[in-house]
Structure 1
Amino acid sequence: MDKGKNGTRNESYAMAGAIIVERISIMSSRLITIFGGSGFIGRHLVGRLAAKGYRIRLAVRDTEKAAQLMTQGNVGQIVGMQTNIRNKASVERAVAGADIVINLVGLLYQSGAQNFNAVHLDGATSVAIAAKAAGAKQLIHMSALGASLESPSAYARTKAGAERAVQREYEGATILRPSVVFGSDDDFTNKFGQLTSLLPVLPLLDGGAANMQPLWIEDLAEAIVRIVETPDAQGRVYEFGGPDVMSLKEIIDAILAVTGRTCFIAPVPEGLMAFKAFFLQMMPGKPFLTVDQVRLLKADNVVSGNYPGFAELGIEPVSLTSVLPEYMTRYQKGGGYSGLHA
């Protein structure tokens, strides 16, 4: 017997409803709190975790930025919570009921109360203590390559101190140490793309001799997802670097090769660079360079080989030079569109 249009429509509605209920039941069982989830790394990580069915709580200072990420999941799957990592009560509220806690918070420069000790060290310690008390089954902490208590850089020293504090307060925490991370919306390659499109000469510490292992943001985000999903991969210290060791000058040369720009690199000794940075860091807004960053750039930023990395997670990292053409053309003359009107 012909069920008619109403019967067919009702069956479709019932099937759609069943799918929605199934998705909701999957989402409701696992909650991840991500501190700093609206930042560069978080923006690329959230969608991947949402696709796996996790409910996600973005613990951020600016909930407007978190709201922009809600479209990466189903309705109600991703929510923002105003959180100050320097406030313990705020941190405790953010981790309440979370199965997994991920701390991506980090500073590249200090400004008032937002200083390295308060955010990197005290903030990370508060997150670890709160995650343990809340019964979170997993804690992932973002550190950095070059983290060392002996470093002349306050950034690197507080990152190392945070690692120790996190491991002390939450046994079995996972520590991630990436080299410099690049992507279409980064503050690294885009900064040099802009500078080299505006300046005929770019002064660099020692001519950009420091070595790095730039890694693609999508590779790092995938690594975090695999750690979250693989019990045997948790509770370890990871070092992540891309497939190529490149000096800062070589990275800038790769940018210039894509943009078609010409920019002379002027080597500057540490003393003079630090002198310039002293004044640059006092300018309003985001500083172009700080004295602490000059100290950090004196050391190479490459993996030691003493810890697991991409290979152990089954990831073959992508090179910088293969990705740059996808987004650095915006710094070509005419914004990369000149050829369309030739």
Structure 2
Amino acid sequence: MSQLVTIFGGSGFVGRYIARRMAKEGWRVRVAVRNVNEAMFVRPYGVVGQVEPVFCNIRDDASVAAVTDGADVVVNCVGVLDETGKNTFDAVQAEGATRIARIAAQMEINRMVHISAIGANPAAESAYAQTKAEGEAGVLAHQPDAVILRPSIIFGHEDQFFNRFAGMTRFGPALPVVGGSTRFQPVYVDDVAAAAVQGILGHAKPGLYELGGPDVLTFREMMQKMLGVIRKRRMIINIPFWAAGIMASCFGIARALSFGLIKGPLTKDQVINLAVDNVVADGAKGFGDLGITPTAMDVVLPDYLWRFRPSGQYDAIKESAKNLKA
């Protein structure tokens, strides 16, 4: 019988790419998610019955144990950028990650891949970064041979970054950003998945790997690149951190008063994070140690941002038509 991997958050942005790759490797894939009905799209990744979405709540021991039982390897892709209800940073990124590692160890599963993030630091001002670091520590306490991946900002067809800002260009001549001079090292989602597969298959040595693409760009430069791809001109306005902090506080108050019905575009924790560079540290292990050549943004962005161009899929045709001689 083929081996089984349980991927927590396997229908999410990164998880679905790992699931697809593992199905191609011939493994059985158990996709552990909160909403099974919304994860049915993963089933065609393999043959009938090879990829199965199953319910799991990573805040509950019994739920995690049920989907871990029988697995050869576990992968944790679960994370949150914004706290909602019981899904707090601590509950998901610290306690949840630790729970998965602990229960896997109890079941004598000694191989685990954990998706963290560049910037994870127990001394960070951001709760997001703190809990990412706590999650790493919890994983290593129970799975000392775990492979921990720390990607920079991730891009790809389903991303909530370039798609979001490209969508904002439809509403006016200006594009507001916070942290315009903060540096990032954008990484392609399928490259992160390829790194995870190396860990699942046992081809990666245990330890921390920081994953960044070939380009190091400021936030402003990323927006300029995105605007070039979608062929639009917009004024990029950098909002000072002090002003962004006030805005985020107001959004937080509105959210609290509306019992979560009103969600602002920015939180105070995100403002704190945007003040810190998000690039691979000097001397850190990375793609090169995994035998992977990272993909450049220029290769991928046009494949999915074309729909934000003035004429969408017909934009290139119209440009070509202008060059035709009468």
Same fold, TM exceeding 0.5?
yes
Residue 202 of structure 1 corresponds to 175
Select the structure of larger CA radius of gyration: 1
Residue 313 of structure 2 corresponds to 336
Residue 36 of structure 1 corresponds to 9
SS at match of 1:172: coil
Residue 239 of structure 1 corresponds to 210
Query: How far apart, CA to CA, are the structure 1 residues paired with 2:118 and 2:315?
Result: 40
Residue 36 of structure 2 corresponds to 63
Q: How far is 1:159 from its partner? A: 0.3
1:117-144: CA deviation from partner (whole Å, max 9, x where unpaired): 1111111111011110112131111110
Extract structure 1 runs of 4+ deviating beyond 4 A. Answer: 338-342
Letter matched to residue 320 of structure 1: M
Residue 269 of structure 1 corresponds to 240
Query: Given that residues 240 and 303 in structure 1 are in contact (C-alpha distance below 8 angstroms), is that contact kept between their aligned partners in structure 2?
Result: yes
2:189 corresponds to 1:217: yes
C-alpha change, 1:339 and 1:51, in structure 2 (3 Å) is: closer
Letter matched to residue 219 of structure 1: D
Q: Which runs of 5+ in 1 are unaligned?
A: 1-27
Identity %: 40
2:274 corresponds to 1:303: no
Mapping of residues 99-138 of structure 1, within 5 Å: 99-138=72-111
Mapping of residues 185-200 of structure 1, within 5 Å: 185-200=158-173
Q: How far is 1:244 from its partner? A: 1.0
SS at match of 2:14: helix
SS at match of 1:266: strand
Q: How far is 1:308 from its partner? A: 1.3
C-alpha change, 1:99 and 1:242, in structure 2 (3 Å) is: same
C-alpha change, 1:285 and 1:51, in structure 2 (3 Å) is: farther
Query: How far apart, CA to CA, are the structure 1 residues paired with 2:8 and 2:225?
Result: 33
Query: How far apart, CA to CA, are the structure 1 residues paired with 2:52 and 2:264?
Result: 31
Query: How far apart, CA to CA, are the structure 1 residues paired with 2:28 and 2:151?
Result: 26
Residue 249 of structure 2 corresponds to 278
SS at match of 2:210: strand
Residue 324 of structure 2 corresponds to none
Deviates more, 1:271-280 or 1:284-293: 284-293
Residue 157 of structure 2 corresponds to 184
Residue 293 of structure 2 corresponds to 316
SS at match of 1:237: strand
2:221 aligned residue (207, 225, 250): 250
Query: How far apart, CA to CA, are the structure 2 residues paired with 1:42 and 1:334?
Result: 32
Residue 87 of structure 1 corresponds to 60
Query: How far apart, CA to CA, are the structure 2 residues paired with 1:156 and 1:137?
Result: 26
Residue 304 of structure 2 corresponds to 327
Residue 146 of structure 2 corresponds to 173
Q: How far is 1:286 from its partner? A: 5.7
Q: How far is 1:339 from its partner? A: 4.9
Q: How far is 1:287 from its partner? A: 4.1
Q: Which runs of 5+ in 2 are unaligned?
A: 322-326
Q: How far is 1:168 from its partner? A: 0.8
Deviates more, 1:112-121 or 1:313-322: 313-322
C-alpha change, 1:286 and 1:327, in structure 2 (3 Å) is: farther
Query: How far apart, CA to CA, are the structure 2 residues paired with 1:34 and 1:286?
Result: 29
2:26 aligned residue (32, 53, 60): 53
Query: Given that residues 228 and 234 in structure 1 are in contact (C-alpha distance below 8 angstroms), is that contact kept between their aligned partners in structure 2?
Result: no
Query: How far apart, CA to CA, are the structure 2 residues paired with 1:223 and 1:103?
Result: 13
Query: Given that residues 251 and 263 in structure 2 are in contact (C-alpha distance below 8 angstroms), is that contact kept between their aligned partners in structure 1?
Result: no
Query: How far apart, CA to CA, are the structure 1 residues paired with 2:240 and 2:288?
Result: 37
Query: Given that residues 197 and 261 in structure 1 are in contact (C-alpha distance below 8 angstroms), is that contact kept between their aligned partners in structure 2?
Result: no
RMSD: 1.5
Q: How far is 1:227 from its partner? A: 2.2
Letter matched to residue 264 of structure 1: M
Query: How far apart, CA to CA, are the structure 1 residues paired with 2:315 and 2:151?
Result: 37
Q: How far is 1:285 from its partner? A: 6.3
